[in-house]
Amino acid sequence: VLAPDGSTVALGPLLAGVEVGLKRAAGRPLPTLEPPVDALYAVTITEALGTSFLLARDSDSHRATLGPGGCWDDVNDPQNYTLLGPPSPIPDAVANGAIDGVLLGAHLAQAPVPLADLLRAYYGTGNGTEKGRPPSSYRRRDFGVLTGPGKLEEEVAVMLRVLRVLPPTQELLEDVGPEEAADIARRAARDFTEVYVECPAIVPRCMWGARPYRGTPKPLTLPLDSVYIHHTFIPSAPCRTFAACARDMRAMQRFHQDTRGWDDIGYSFVVGSDGYVYHGRGWHWVGAHTKGYNSKGYGVGYVGDFSAALPDPDTIALVRDELLPCAVRTGRLHWNYTLRGHRQMGHTDCPGNSLFREIETWHGFK
């Protein structure tokens, strides 16, 4: 299903987590396995995660272990969802459903509430009002806090021992010794955490309704050395919902293509105040954001005019603490990158006085 925050959620792991939470709250027994597993993680993520990494063991296999994302045919009337690449057992929608299943299951186990109320509150649809960001837009942060650094690895390791005796998966583990099983659990937990907890969610172009690129994009040579921070100025108001941010992205792309005559929206990435990063030119293609320096760095634009005000603290952190460290870890940005405001590279007030003073405190600012 397409959630109101613009994310796509698989219902299987979500409802499985809810069921475990409700059973715990009611004191009803859950199936016992040997070795003992945490049922909440088992039904949401660890069985799928363990199986995915087992299937990819063969060194000749280029099988994906996580992802991909996907897009709906029409976000106003979603009927068909299409993956953006070869599927793994854990495409992004399953990861979102699993994370939500863990969070909502844990919540229900502690404080049972009617299911409709829980879902409306979590996905931000209560009474049809918009009261800031819905809790679902914080799923990655909250899952990281709840699960902690070692819990996921520990649960995948236990699940691999269970899968060893279950008929559908016995064959996958026939020649897997204890050390390799421990290594699989470690890699599975590490990769899942990096992709779905430490890195921010990036809304693909087809979800915000991008027009096609005009011409042939020029590839970047990675890793890059620089990041340039912008504000959009127009739109001047921060966008706080998926619908508003997607609308702003389309408006900026139209302006950049039709008025400026550029091939595409200029920014590499655009940051909404809804908790999401929006894919512009992306990680691999030269943008049109910082004249004379487009091939040297990524251009990251905040939606809004930040001359006199700052983005929300969470929106600042989305780039400072998530997007940039993620870019370094994934080899897209040098570890000793340089960060600058647009005004340092040309005649402009961008990214606004308030945001410029803020980025002066960030790692890498020169």
| Averaged pLDDT for residues 120-128 | 77
Residue 59 predicted with pLDDT over 70: no
Residue 347 predicted with pLDDT over 80: yes
| Residue 292 banded pLDDT, cuts 50, 70, 90 | very high
| Averaged pLDDT for residues 76-82 | 94
Give the pLDDT score at 75.
Answer: 87
**CATH of the structural domain 205-360, one choice from 3.30.559.10, 2.40.50.140, 3.30.710.10, 3.40.80.10:** 3.40.80.10
Residue 54 predicted with pLDDT over 80: yes
| Averaged pLDDT for residues 302-316 | 97
Give the pLDDT score at 339.
Answer: 98
Neighbours of 73 (CB within 10 A): 11
Q: What is the identity of the amino acid at 292?
A: G
| Residue 129 banded pLDDT, cuts 50, 70, 90 | very low
| Averaged pLDDT for residues 25-44 | 87
| Residue 128 banded pLDDT, cuts 50, 70, 90 | very low
* 115-123 helix and 92-110 helix, angle to the nearest 10 degrees: 130
142-192 confidence digits (pLDDT tens): 999 999 889 999 999 999 999 998 888 888 899 999 999 999 999 999 999
Instruction: Say what percent of the chain tops pLDDT 90.
Output: 87
Single out the residue of 350, 366, 361, 255 nearest to residue 306, CA to CA.
350
Mean pLDDT, the chain, whole residue set:
94
Q: Is the torsion defined by CA of 356, 361, 362, 366 positive or negative?
A: positive
| Residue 36 banded pLDDT, cuts 50, 70, 90 | confident
The owner of tokens 């559908």 is 168
Give the pLDDT score at 321.
Answer: 97
Give the pLDDT score at 46.
Answer: 97
Residue 228 predicted with pLDDT over 70: yes
Give the pLDDT score at 73.
Answer: 94
Give the pLDDT score at 127.
Answer: 46
Give the pLDDT score at 168.
Answer: 85
- The partner residues of 257 in beta bridges, in order of sequence, read none
User: Which long-range contacts does 73-77 make (Cβ < 8 Å, 24+ apart)?
Assistant: 75/2, 75/6, 75/207, 75/209, 75/242, 75/243, 75/246
| Averaged pLDDT for residues 298-302 | 98
Report CA Rg, the chain: 22
Contact criterion met (CB below 8 Å) for 227 and 297: yes
> Any idea where the domains of the chain sit in the sequence?
11-198, 205-360
| Averaged pLDDT for residues 224-232 | 98
Residue 69 predicted with pLDDT over 60: yes
Between CA 248 and CA 238 the distance in angstroms is 10
Between CA 320 and CA 75 the distance in angstroms is 29
Give the pLDDT score at 131.
Answer: 57
Task: Write out the DSSP string of 76-141.
Answer: SS---EEESSS--SS-HHHHHHHHHHHHHHHHHHHS---HHHHHHHHHT-GGG---SS-GGGGHHH
Between CA 156 and CA 49 the distance in angstroms is 7
| Residue 32 banded pLDDT, cuts 50, 70, 90 | confident
Residue 195 predicted with pLDDT over 70: yes
